[in-house]
Structure 1
């Protein structure tokens, strides 16, 4: 059965004290029958402090990035084991900002996914096309390439610890939303790739999130589409009120 997830990617925002205060407020606001998994992805600097105060029965957390080596002369990087030592269970891999601002290749992302799984972390693997690629009719081509490279080293017995987040790059931080139909088409295509590489059971039970200017005002319409199993939220996850509203909207739609 697919796990429904609402995750908040804080990107380069919040000091340690701000992060801790946010999690405390969020936990207070989650005093209802929670039927989904809530995740937060703070900056590296806040991982340890959040790990000390978070109620993991209500909120999971992890890092926004990692390197595929376990240790060594890799200035500015952190390893999967470092994330785990702070209590983190998840890691975002292949976010579009890592791909397009920092030049991460498909090959590097595949090695990160492999390293995360081998170390016991659950990777949230981001895939998605840029505006020029969509306009050129290359959406499926781009998604397929990114998918196969990201999961190149992932065997069927490891795939259940992975999550995919489809993020149309042209809809991230732009205020431009993919239509529910566009999101559904992309998610269906990804599910087809999962069936092709693994099998129908894997595809049916795999969690695929949508990430692209998700807000309280559009999450209901997006989640109503079959195949959208939750959200990777950016800007709207920086305020407890808006993030909690998204969580409640999705939670209330679950039987």
Structure 2
């Protein structure tokens, strides 16, 4: 087993020592207890041997001399291929988490899911407030898609999308959306919601079918064109800050 990384954050909260060690390293809780009892962990230079000890998350805790700190939130963009689902686990399909080479990937979640056959920008984080700002309709975080349809797109669709469309089994119209027709069967669409299969259902309500769908942007975050399908990278500070959380 190995340490994840050295993380730094200031906090006055306390946490059980064995839980802290298991959280910021790759060690299991039982392995953490063993290491503590073996005298491998110190606090401010003094050995700690009780796994139940309550320690501050910003204390100078060291494992074999290496400092440990609580993990900072993580933010990634990923270029999702087809045939991957946006879920933590799935019995039948690979998930986007399977594409990550990160410590504790199961602690990450998708901020704005895509269907299994939809490609493009997926955001992953362990920051709940930030992901809520991405996905909540009240935050009006716009998503931009490129799409191809089975039939030509009527010009009247622009006005209908802007007004909002009643989807089957939904009681309210979709929020106003911006449709740009690029070719007879090709368009870009901007929406600020994330209803179930929304883009496909919007076109379905007009008697058309979406046969290709690719997400290009979420808010001010554009999919990095250098990322091949299945590749990912951390968000920049500017990209993270472009999503304003409700408490900011």
Shorter-chain TM-score bucket reads: under 0.3
Quick check: which one's helix share is greater?
Answer: 1
**The structure with more radius of gyration:** 2
TM-score, length-normalised on structure 1? 0.26
